[in-house]
Amino acid sequence: MAKRFDIQHMPGFKTIAAVTFVLLYMPIFLLVIYSFNSGTSIAIWEGFSWRWYVSAWDNQQVQEATVRSLVIAFWASGISTTLAVLAALATTRTRKFKGQSVVFAMINQPLMVPEIVTAVALLIFFAMIKVATGYTGLLYLIIAHTAFCIPFAYLPIRARLIGMDLALEQAAADLYAPPFRVFTRITLPQLWPGILAGAMLAFVISLDDVVITEFVKSAGQDTLPTYMLGQLRRVVTPEVNAISTVLLGISVTMVVAFTALSKLKT
- Residue 96 DSSP class: -
What does residue 48 show for φ and ψ, rounded to 5 degrees? -80, 140
Question: What average pLDDT does this structure show over 5-10?
Answer: 70
Map out the domains of the chain as residue ranges: 8-49, 59-262
pTM confidence score = 0.82
What does the pLDDT look like over 153-182, one tens digit per residue? 999 899 888 888 777 777 877 777 888 888
Q: What is the pLDDT at residue 262?
A: 65
Q: What percent of the chain has pLDDT over 70?
A: 95
Give CATH for domain 59-262: 1.10.3720.10
213, exposed or middle or buried, with CB in 10 Å at 0-12, 13-18, 19+? buried
* Cα distances (Å, whole numbers) of residue 50 to 34, 56, 243: 11, 10, 12
Q: What is the pLDDT at residue 5?
A: 64
**pLDDT above 90 (res 255):** no
Question: What average pLDDT does this structure show over 106-126?
Answer: 89
- Residue 93 DSSP class: S
Contact 149, 213 (CB under 8 A): no
Rounded CA gap, 147 and 111, in Å? 11
**pLDDT above 60 (res 1):** no
**Residue 10 or residue 127, greater confidence:** 127
Residues 6+ apart with CB under 8 A from 109: 151
Q: How confident is the model at residue 104 (pLDDT cuts 50, 70, 90)?
A: confident
Contact 226, 217 (CB under 8 A): yes
* Cα distances (Å, whole numbers) of residue 162 to 89, 125, 158, 169, 252: 10, 35, 6, 13, 27
Q: 26-46 burial, b if ≥16 CB within 10 A, otherwise e?
A: eeeeebeebbbbebeebeeee
Contact 239, 55 (CB under 8 A): yes
Alpha helices, H only, 42-187: 51-58, 60-92, 100-107, 109-112, 115-133, 139-163, 167-174, 179-182
Rounded CA gap, 185 and 192, in Å? 12
Q: What is the pLDDT at residue 265?
A: 59
> Minimum mean pLDDT among 110-119, 137-146, 235-244: which range?
235-244
Q: What is the pLDDT at residue 139?
A: 93
**Residue 264 or residue 16, greater confidence:** 16
Q: What percent of the chain has pLDDT over 90?
A: 26
Residues 6+ apart with CB under 8 A from 122: 144, 147, 212, 215, 216
Chain centroid to CA 43: 30
Q: What is the pLDDT at residue 231?
A: 79
Rounded CA gap, 186 and 190, in Å? 7
**Residue 225 or residue 11, greater confidence:** 225
Rounded CA gap, 139 and 143, in Å? 6
Give the mean pLDDT of the chain: 85
Helices (H) and strands (E) in the chain, counts: 13, 0
**pLDDT above 60 (res 2):** no
Chain centroid to CA 124: 24
Q: CB neighbours (10 Å) of residue 242?
A: 25
